[in-house]
Amino acid sequence: WLGYTLFGNGSPDNPLPLWQRPLVSIGVIAVSVLAIRGSLSHRPMNPASLAYCGDSMLNTLPLNSLHSVLFAAYSMKNERSAADVYGRMPDEEINARVIRSAGIAPVEVPHIPTLHKQIASVRRPRPFNLVMIVEESLGAQYVANLGGSGHTPQLDALSETGWNFTRAYATGTRSVRGLEALVAGFPPTLSDAALRLSGAQSNFFTMAQLLRQHGYRSRFIYGGEAHFDNMKSFFLGNGFDELHDRATFENPAFIGTWGASDEDMFARLDALLRSSPDEPTFTLAFSVTNHSPWEYPPGRIEVEGDPATVENTVRYADWALGQFFEQARNAPYWENTVFLVVADHDARVGGASLVPVRHFHIPALILGADVKARRDDRLISQIDLPPTLLSLMGLDCEHPMPGQDLTQQDGGRAMMQYQENYGYLKGDQLIVLEPHRPATQYRYQAPATFSPVSLDAELEHEALAHVLWPWWAYQNRAYTLPHLYTQL
């Protein structure tokens, strides 16, 4: 109609018969929709679909320039200033409070205030390999040794053989938020996770960026499509050397809506670890099965009730995890590899609480090599796990992560972004920041008891600094490494 109006109500030279016009219109609409989606797969194309290397500029060359401009404008909605919502604080105070809470001694690099040297507590002749296994939507509510329903017997058995953190808390409720915390050690804030922010697609700190300096080769394994949630673009642009997703899996045992099953992902992980090159490796393995519509291979578990339930997919995911570690313990790579098994977030996060803390409670377990079995009841955050792993690997390094090395520090605080509310838990004291409202404070008792208490101004300022700092660091390109900062 717009074209007809703009071009002077002109008539075609050879008008179609009336009966053909609806058919042609339907065909034109179908072709147009297909062109917009750019793909026949169940997810439309996005800029990450075309990412193929670590140079973000080269990854933009295949993109339509008008699309790039419009997509950049659209993506600006993800970049929300926490200061505009929760309140302001001087930059110097923000950094000072975050540094003090992290217990670090910064290196004198003004543009990267949290850059500091971490000395490993474990000395090794050769640094160990690292494997992060991120379990989709596996909250503590399903894990018996964490007070849950007992749907994870394999994980419960593994917890007896490794370093089991019983009070670990996720930073958010989305996979990208968990990956941001685990791969980059980056705290949560009101903006979208770093994986989806345009300014973080290159020269942003990740474990892969750091380990590349120490001769590591980094790999990402995912049974789904790696361009989902912009993972492909973020990982390739920030230090990862290899991506293994659904398209690279040969003869997978089972394909569901979200991709190849967990056992297929673990099979690829085992194969890669067995054929590792001479250089040390960092491998990030992300599961997909425990996600609606709850699909998994038949014959692996004894189904309880309706097969398509989160409880049954949790049990299958746990079975696949147990099968992998049964192989791994007898594999040659076991003795020189540190494994982390951790959830990205809980499933079914909700409730009447301003911040439903119990739904941020997740399993976190370090095992492998010479990691001794222990039950650790300290309060910790996902962002504390990357520095701790570096220490267990035997690496001395400089990085900007504000998480704590739990081999040498005490943890004691967790941060949680829940929709527009922010929770800062220190000990049993929870500060809740809401948009354009005064902060409130509660005494929290697990699993879900909140008792209002008088507001501690010092703790409120500490919480405010932690929600403002990630936005400040992103805006100022201050979450990076010195050699990457020179390229900005």
CB 448 within 8 A of CB 440: no
So what's the pLDDT on residue 217?
96
So what's the pLDDT on residue 352?
73
CB 448 within 8 A of CB 353: yes
CB 477 within 8 A of CB 203: yes
CB 163 within 8 A of CB 366: yes
The structure's pTM equals 0.89
So what's the pLDDT on residue 55?
65
DSSP run (H or E) holding 131: strand 129-135
Reading phi first (left if > 0) and then psi (alpha if -120 to 50, else beta), residue 239 is in: left
Confidence of residue 21 (pLDDT cuts 50, 70, 90): confident
So what's the pLDDT on residue 39?
73
The yes-or-no verdict on residue 348 having pLDDT over 90 is: no
CB 334 within 8 A of CB 328: yes
Poorest-confidence range of 202-211, 271-280, 312-321?
Answer: 271-280
The C-alpha atoms of residue 67 and residue 216 are separated, in whole angstroms, by 36
The C-alpha atoms of residue 26 and residue 57 are separated, in whole angstroms, by 38
Confidence of residue 321 (pLDDT cuts 50, 70, 90): very high
3-state SS, residue 463:
helix
Per-residue model confidence as pLDDT tens digits over 193-221: 999 998 999 999 999 999 999 999 999 99
Mean pLDDT of 390-418: 97
Q: Which of 372, 260, 249, 369 is nearest to 320 (CA)?
A: 260
CB 162 within 8 A of CB 373: yes
The C-alpha atoms of residue 331 and residue 138 are separated, in whole angstroms, by 26
CB 422 within 8 A of CB 432: yes
Which runs of consecutive H residues, i.e. helices, occur in 228-279?
Answer: 231-237, 262-274
Mean pLDDT (the chain) is 92
List of residues 6+ apart from 410 with CB closer than 8 A: 378, 404
Strand order in the sheet with 421-426: 413-418, 421-426, 429-433, 440-445, 449-453
The yes-or-no verdict on residue 38 having pLDDT over 80 is: no
Which runs of consecutive H residues, i.e. helices, occur in 7-125?
Answer: 20-37, 56-60, 65-75, 82-86, 91-102
CB 211 within 8 A of CB 390: no
Taking the alpha carbons at both ends of the chain, their separation in whole angstroms is 46
So what's the pLDDT on residue 43?
65
So what's the pLDDT on residue 150?
96
